[in-house]
Structure 1
Amino acid sequence: MNRSLSSGVLSVVSAKIVILIVGILSTPILFRLLEPAGFGDYSFLMSVFAIYMIFVSSGIADGVRKFLAEERSMQDWEPYVVGYYFRLALLFSLTGAFLMILSSQSGLVTRLFGAEYTPYFYGLALLVVSVQFQTYSRKTLMGFGLERYSEPLNILDKVAFVVVAIPLVYLDFGVTGALAGHAVASIAVGVIGLMLIHQRVPLSNVFRTPPSNFPRKKMLTFNSMSIVLLFLLTSLYHIDVVMLQHFRESADVGNYRAALTLAEFLWFVPLALQTVYVHSTSELWSRNRTKQITSLASKTTRYTFLLTAIMAVGLAALADIAVPIYFGPDATPAIEPLLLLLPGALGFALARPILAVSQGEGTLRYPVAATGVAATINVVLNFLLIPRYGMHGAAVATSVGYGGMFAFHCVSARHVGFDPLADARFSRIVATTALAAIPIFALAAVITNEWLALVIVPPTGLAIYLTFAVLTGAITPAEPFEVLAEFPEPIGSRAAFAQERLEGVHADLTIAGWVQSMLFLTGVTFLLSGLLIALFGTEGGTPVFG
């Protein structure tokens, strides 16, 4: 497949950024309109739906993008793959929708979850079909390397949901209005996606029978393992919400989901990398380029650690301010669960690209085993801690399960055949994070004006962190410009020039140098904080100036 890996990453990352912004703007509105209890019911339904869809999707999404990305000598390989997975998607979605309607009519939903949830499951039955083809169409386009189409469709899905759902919720349609937003958005994206696929491969191939040498058995085996892997991953995302709904009130579920939402902001770049790497590294694995895979995986681990660590530190430092402002005063109980979730969210962020590279190899038994151990720990701890500690217990259990994903998948990666820690520079990044956290937390503590803290702390903290990262050797001075060099003009050419000038420059420090740098930057930070307090702080509840 003739395309640039970096262009695929940038397409997906750009879409993830837009989707992140849409989510940042829409989620607190939904939280306020639905209130904690309604938001808890909505979150619970979407968690149940996500787990159910694992069996309906049956690995179709991962399968179609993986096998389309492979180079095969078989004539009409791509049309056969598209048609084969389309038939599977249709069969499983209709079956899944029928079973969901049957469970509602038979009273099973009432017995399991309560009578108030039965009407919602009829809406979820429609979502089964619409979301199936929305996902199938997007992943098929990605398998063709057409992220320039698949990612705008992802944006359209999120924007259409917001445009439809928020007015309906505002008009007192509640959770039903939110579900209707998902239905309209997924139908629109599915139809447009299928039209784009038809331009590349006619959908009439759905009716063509593949030849006898078409690898049905391999595809089914891959799908079977994908079902297990996706189920385990989804349990990590949602089992805490489902169990918390059983043991606690809906308001607790809503506040806990709010904490999860903020913690999951750490994942947007790792998610983009995971999305692209499955089918991109499939090509490298098919050519047996193990050294290139190890280099790619270890560098990605290092960059992911650097990025998510500073995000976690900043979010922790500003949690007391950010949560009430973002979700409203009713979400104040979400602050402590958020702090408990952040270490695990960081570990899960590191595990995501490693898992994607392992998936690209195609032998899933080691990733499944690693994910299974983490998921089992997660379920057991949630079962033990939620009845006694509520959402705090759920946060601890989930954080441990998330963090275990990184450790177990590092072991899994070595069995698969690559080393994600070869150039990770973990000790240097840990030192960078520990040193930078001191002035960042100090800065957040001394700026008493909440809005000013939100404006000042993130960019100042990033500058402090990057300085330490260069000084400790976690990154070289040229590396940030290496990433920027892949961006469009005029950024790309200027970054490439800066990268060329800085190549070969290193700034590794001894321990004494680290301490000296920390003291210097901390002193500068406190000086800046003092000036800001003098201008914008409060004294006895009254602004000093203004």
Structure 2
Amino acid sequence: MNRSIASGILSVVSAKVVVLVVTAVSTPLLYRFLGASGYGDYAFLLSVFAIYMIFVSSGITDGVRKYLAEDRSVPHWEAYVAGFYLRLAIWLAAVGTLVMVAAAEFGYVALAFGDGLASYFYVLAILVVTAQFRDFARKTLMGFGLERYSEPLKILDKVGFVAVAIPLVYAGFGVTGALLGHIVASALVAVVGLALVHRRISLVSVFSHPSTGFPRKRMLTFNSMSIVLVLLLMSLYHVDILMLQQFRESAEVGNYRAALQLAEFLWFVPLALQTVFVHSTSELWSRGRTRKITELASRTTRYAFLLTAVMAVGLAALADVAVPLYFGPEAEPAIEPLLLLLPGALGFALARPILAVSQGNGTLRYPVVATGVAAGINVVLNALLIPSYGMRGAAVATSVGYGSMFVLHCWSARLVGFDPLADARLARTVLTTALSAVPIVALAAAIENPWLALTVVPPVGLALFVTVALLVGALDPTEPLEVLAAFPDPVGSAAAGLQARLEGVGGTASGNWLQILLFVAGLVLLVAGLVVGLLGIDAGTVLA
């Protein structure tokens, strides 16, 4: 992993950790202030909005970061790309707002979702505009490789939402207050983000029309395929919520959404990898470096499996304790669907970086087919299971749909031109997970005090998991240091030095003991690396 990709991942992971912490604090407050029923309505509206925004913004956000990252010799390439997508963003935002207002005004929303939710769509129409320019600004900065700017904006978006939404909901504005929080936060991010983009390239480029050689047709084709791909992905996220709303009360939808919220915590590192890999591997694809891509993708699959699996095991072991403490006693029905969702969430986590590498290639036919099959499985199973089994049926159906993504995208990747399983060591990672799960679950069951369990189980479980991973060969002692060596100094230089010493003594009689000691030092450096990111140290400046 080179330093440019590593610095991007560090910036994204650091931001996601902060967002995760803010989300972890704010979500139970929203749940309590809105109640299970209000939270269910809020979750349903966000699901509808997310699907609607696919047609408004998904082709733009994927396209601008892919094509800005490509190494082109065309004069003024960046200005032409940014201008092309900004014009498209303005036009689609205007159309999207008018369509949503018209649907609410002429009764189509009430006909589809009921009179109780219709008034919220006028608020969502405003959010269409602010969300469009927020996402355009952030993805454009990412296309320029400026994750050190785009990711703090994500933190600003989350913090701004919490600062506005929580007081409004507490004051009695309910779901409308939560939606207003999204509007204010996204507007703030849009203004700051566009100002940062303007510093890199003038936004006047929106009025500049490129030459006849500019690949408009290819870019529009990519946009269209991206819309289809994201629509299928979003169906995996939201079809269960939409169907459950039709067959069950809002309170059950709220509890199911709470279970999803916890299961989705597993994705924060794979999501960071997916975010960076689209534009980072786009450059590698443009240079024909398929061997490097296969190496990167397969090792990422193994690391993502190990990290996500230990989180899934820990969450499953502590579910009975964590859910009531986190959301309150009213959310206890969310425990069972959470346990059912975890296996699928693990599979979806592994599929995310693989999908991103395929997107970087620009050939979306196979990823679209793979995602379409998974989405079809998800829809059919939800339709069959929800009427009879409610949120438990939704959890089983969604888990199967999520899990199928990993298998299908491994097939898709081979057709695109890389092998995500070349160094994945799947048998060893599965064995590590199975052997570690038994003592971790037993330890959680043996500790009766819930706060003591939350304090003891995660670190002890991680130590057990890492030890087993080393013993069965799922992880080599040098690998954490090799990854950390690509990070900014002082972490990178210290890790490189330890890696050299480790490789130098690997064949000696005392090598095994020293390997273990140096591996522990590598874990310490990993924590230090995350602290560097969380303290806001500019990785890009350090690398320059």
Q: TM-score, normalized by length of structure 2?
A: 0.92
Task: State whether residues 3 and 486 of structure 2, in contact with CA within 8 Å, keep that contact through their aligned partners in structure 1.
Answer: no
How do 1:46-195 and structure 2 match up within 5 A?
46-195=46-195
Aligned to 1:349: 349
Aligned to 2:378: 378
How do 1:46-445 and structure 2 match up within 5 A?
46-445=46-445
Matched residues in 2 for 1:127 and 1:121: separation?
9
Offset at 1:489?
4.4
Structure 1 counterpart of 2:104, one-letter code: S
Matched residues in 2 for 1:301 and 1:488: separation?
23
The 1:16–1:125 alpha-carbon spacing in structure 2 relative to 1, beyond 3 Å, is same
Matched residues in 1 for 2:117 and 2:72: separation?
48
Matched residues in 2 for 1:456 and 1:488: separation?
32
Question: What are the superposed Cα offsets for residues 67-88 of structure 1, whole Å, 9 maximum, x if unpaired?
Answer: 0001111111110111100010
Question: What are the superposed Cα offsets for residues 465-495 of structure 1, whole Å, 9 maximum, x if unpaired?
Answer: 0000001110111212223334444443333
| Secondary structure of the structure 2 residue equivalent to 1:74 | coil
Question: What are the superposed Cα offsets for residues 262-309 of structure 1, whole Å, 9 maximum, x if unpaired?
Answer: 000010000000000000000110111110000000000000000000
The 1:470–1:54 alpha-carbon spacing in structure 2 relative to 1, beyond 3 Å, is same
Structure 2 counterpart of 1:46, one-letter code: L
Matched residues in 1 for 2:149 and 2:53: separation?
24
Matched residues in 1 for 2:236 and 2:504: separation?
42
Q: Which segment drifts farther, 408-417 or 51-60? A: 51-60
Aligned to 1:528: none
Matched residues in 1 for 2:15 and 2:245: separation?
32
Question: What are the superposed Cα offsets for residues 199-250 of structure 1, whole Å, 9 maximum, x if unpaired?
Answer: 1111111111111111000000000100100000000001100110111000
Aligned to 1:35: 35
Structure 1 residue runs without a partner (length 5+): 508-546
Q: Which segment drifts farther, 175-184 or 428-437? A: 428-437
Matched residues in 1 for 2:505 and 2:389: separation?
51
| Secondary structure of the structure 2 residue equivalent to 1:4 | helix
Matched residues in 1 for 2:506 and 2:467: separation?
13
Offset at 1:504?
7.2
Question: What are the superposed Cα offsets for residues 442-461 of structure 1, whole Å, 9 maximum, x if unpaired?
Answer: 10010111100000000000
Matched residues in 1 for 2:238 and 2:31: separation?
18
Task: State whether residues 123 and 179 of structure 2, in contact with CA within 8 Å, keep that contact through their aligned partners in structure 1.
Answer: yes
The 1:224–1:430 alpha-carbon spacing in structure 2 relative to 1, beyond 3 Å, is same
Matched residues in 1 for 2:11 and 2:487: separation?
10
Aligned to 1:10: 10
Matched residues in 2 for 1:504 and 1:226: separation?
47
Matched residues in 1 for 2:203 and 2:334: separation?
47
1:502 matched to 2:502? The reply is: yes
Aligned to 1:469: 469
Task: State whether residues 232 and 375 of structure 2, in contact with CA within 8 Å, keep that contact through their aligned partners in structure 1.
Answer: yes
Matched residues in 2 for 1:455 and 1:505: separation?
36
The 1:52–1:381 alpha-carbon spacing in structure 2 relative to 1, beyond 3 Å, is same
Matched residues in 2 for 1:504 and 1:384: separation?
59
Structure 2 counterpart of 1:254, one-letter code: G
Offset at 1:5?
1.1
Structure 2 residue runs without a partner (length 5+): 508-544
Task: State whether residues 428 and 473 of structure 1, in contact with CA within 8 Å, keep that contact through their aligned partners in structure 2.
Answer: yes
Task: State whether residues 3 and 145 of structure 1, in contact with CA within 8 Å, keep that contact through their aligned partners in structure 2.
Answer: no
Matched residues in 2 for 1:350 and 1:15: separation?
20
Identity of aligned residues (%): 71
| Secondary structure of the structure 2 residue equivalent to 1:423 | coil
Matched residues in 2 for 1:487 and 1:317: separation?
33
Task: State whether residues 40 and 251 of structure 1, in contact with CA within 8 Å, keep that contact through their aligned partners in structure 2.
Answer: yes
Question: What are the superposed Cα offsets for residues 143-169 of structure 1, whole Å, 9 maximum, x if unpaired?
Answer: 001111100001100000000000000
| Secondary structure of the structure 2 residue equivalent to 1:363 | coil
- Higher RCO, Cα 8 Å, sep 6+: 2
The 1:346–1:505 alpha-carbon spacing in structure 2 relative to 1, beyond 3 Å, is farther
Matched residues in 1 for 2:415 and 2:389: separation?
38
Structure 1 stretches of 4+ moved >6 Å: 504-507
Structure 1 counterpart of 2:198, one-letter code: H
Offset at 1:498?
2.4
Question: What are the superposed Cα offsets for residues 168-205 of structure 1, whole Å, 9 maximum, x if unpaired?
Answer: 00001000000000000000000111111111111111
Structure 2 counterpart of 1:52, one-letter code: Y
Matched residues in 1 for 2:457 and 2:496: separation?
29
Q: Which segment drifts farther, 70-79 or 291-300? A: 70-79
Structure 1 counterpart of 2:126, one-letter code: L
Aligned to 1:510: none
| Secondary structure of the structure 1 residue equivalent to 2:11 | helix
| Secondary structure of the structure 1 residue equivalent to 2:363 | coil
Structure 2 counterpart of 1:463, one-letter code: A
Task: State whether residues 30 and 166 of structure 2, in contact with CA within 8 Å, keep that contact through their aligned partners in structure 1.
Answer: yes
Matched residues in 1 for 2:137 and 2:450: separation?
44
The 1:213–1:490 alpha-carbon spacing in structure 2 relative to 1, beyond 3 Å, is closer
Task: State whether residues 80 and 205 of structure 2, in contact with CA within 8 Å, keep that contact through their aligned partners in structure 1.
Answer: yes
Matched residues in 2 for 1:231 and 1:505: separation?
52
Task: State whether residues 69 and 279 of structure 1, in contact with CA within 8 Å, keep that contact through their aligned partners in structure 2.
Answer: yes
Question: What are the superposed Cα offsets for residues 119-146 of structure 1, whole Å, 9 maximum, x if unpaired?
Answer: 1000000010100000000000000011
Matched residues in 2 for 1:504 and 1:458: separation?
33
Matched residues in 1 for 2:450 and 2:488: separation?
36
Matched residues in 2 for 1:58 and 1:131: separation?
11
The 1:265–1:34 alpha-carbon spacing in structure 2 relative to 1, beyond 3 Å, is same
Tell me the number of residue pairs that the alignment of Structure 1 and Structure 2 aligns.
506
Matched residues in 2 for 1:151 and 1:162: separation?
17
| Secondary structure of the structure 2 residue equivalent to 1:318 | helix
Task: State whether residues 340 and 399 of structure 2, in contact with CA within 8 Å, keep that contact through their aligned partners in structure 1.
Answer: yes
Task: State whether residues 340 and 399 of structure 1, in contact with CA within 8 Å, keep that contact through their aligned partners in structure 2.
Answer: yes
Task: State whether residues 58 and 224 of structure 1, in contact with CA within 8 Å, keep that contact through their aligned partners in structure 2.
Answer: no
Structure 1 counterpart of 2:235, one-letter code: S
| Secondary structure of the structure 2 residue equivalent to 1:477 | coil
Matched residues in 2 for 1:400 and 1:23: separation?
26
